[in-house]
Structure 1
């Protein structure tokens, strides 16, 4: 039986974080400041549902939030010079939103089920270029942090998630790939993108 969580605060964004990834955010809206306070008050059990924004959905009907989301925990926070609150979240598990309710201040909370997401999958030699190129991206954009030099780069599922976070793909495409039972379709998709880009050079 899938694990379920109730009353999980939801944070819809155009940027995406998946399990194993991190994201820095600047918080200023009162509803999200409340969210941070309440999540931090729960200690290690505090979680946020990081959701993909559906630009074709309706805010009134809550269809602006795609169903496949990421449970994330707050791992760092700071008060920025401009008065905003900066937080860093880390993706922990994949989940699916089953129901959404709206609080009086506009904060959305959901009933969610934890998804048994992609199993750990060794990165095969024919896909090594995906890890190599990922490190090149990290080197070109220092704000992403340092490219990991540990066993994470040898995991196809980890590499695929990082590419899905970074690539400017439609959220619908990412949702479809994340619903797959393994990362293999994402590997095929990424290889197709690289082959197409090389043809255009």
Structure 2
């Protein structure tokens, strides 16, 4: 078990996926400042299930993803940072929020790729890109994904036009096959809802 700084957010971070942040709250500015002294600056990201990102009183999910800080640029009263998701974890215990949120976490095992999943990954990508071409969202249908099949599977989960709770379901996948099947099922469900609306 490791105690790490935590950044609860209203969105899900997946492994192999970039996370741009505008950091302006004093406690998170302190956290980023301290992380910059580390050789491998990482913090945990968990979904806020209920409540707000600012001011506490939120309810935080028990599974999250480590984020490795890759760039920080300073602006007027704000830091612009980019981190990349690395490994998933479960929260064992939340610690005191002073000076910023922290938790003891246990790392979850990395998922492993099997070449037999290639047709499923191809199908998932085709469905996600087709639905993205009709959705107004954060990602475009031509968003580039990795050539590495495991990284690409997580990135498809990230760019699929789904709500936070569906994404949180995907984050908890225990195999790549289950992840890809759920990406397909949830994306098709979302498409049907739009068509019906």
TM-score class, shorter? 0.7 to 0.9
- For residues 116 and 137 of structure 1, what CA distance do their matches in structure 2 show? 35
Cα distance change on mapping 1:93 and 1:150 into 2, 3 Å:
closer
The CA deviation at 1:138 is 10
The SS at the match of 2:15 is coil
User: Which residue of structure 2 aligns with residue 185 of structure 1?
Assistant: 182
Q: 1:49 to 1:150 in 2, by over 3 A?
A: closer
Change (3 A) 1:189 1:27: same
CA–CA separation in structure 1 for the residues paired with 2:135 and 2:78: 26
The Cα of 1:152 is off from its aligned counterpart by: 5.0
Q: Which residue of 2 aligns with 1:16?
A: 12
Match of 1:28?
Answer: 24
Of 100, 106, 124, the match for 1:127:
124
How far apart are 1:181 and its partner, in Å? Answer: 1.5
Aligned counterpart, 2:167: 174
Task: Name 1:112's counterpart in structure 2.
Answer: 105
Q: Which residue of 2 aligns with 1:99?
A: 93
Match of 1:38 in 2: 34
Q: TM-score, normalised by structure 1?
A: 0.75
Q: CA deviation at 1:140?
A: 7.8
Secondary structure of residue in 1 paired with 2:64: strand
Taking structure 2 as the reference length, what is the TM-score of the superposition?
Answer: 0.76
* Cα gap change, 1:123 to 1:196, in 2 (>3 Å): farther
**Aligned counterpart, 1:74:** 69
Counterpart Cα distance in 1 of 2:119 and 2:9: 29
Structure 2 unmatched ranges of 5 or more: none
CA RMSD, 1 decimal: 3.2
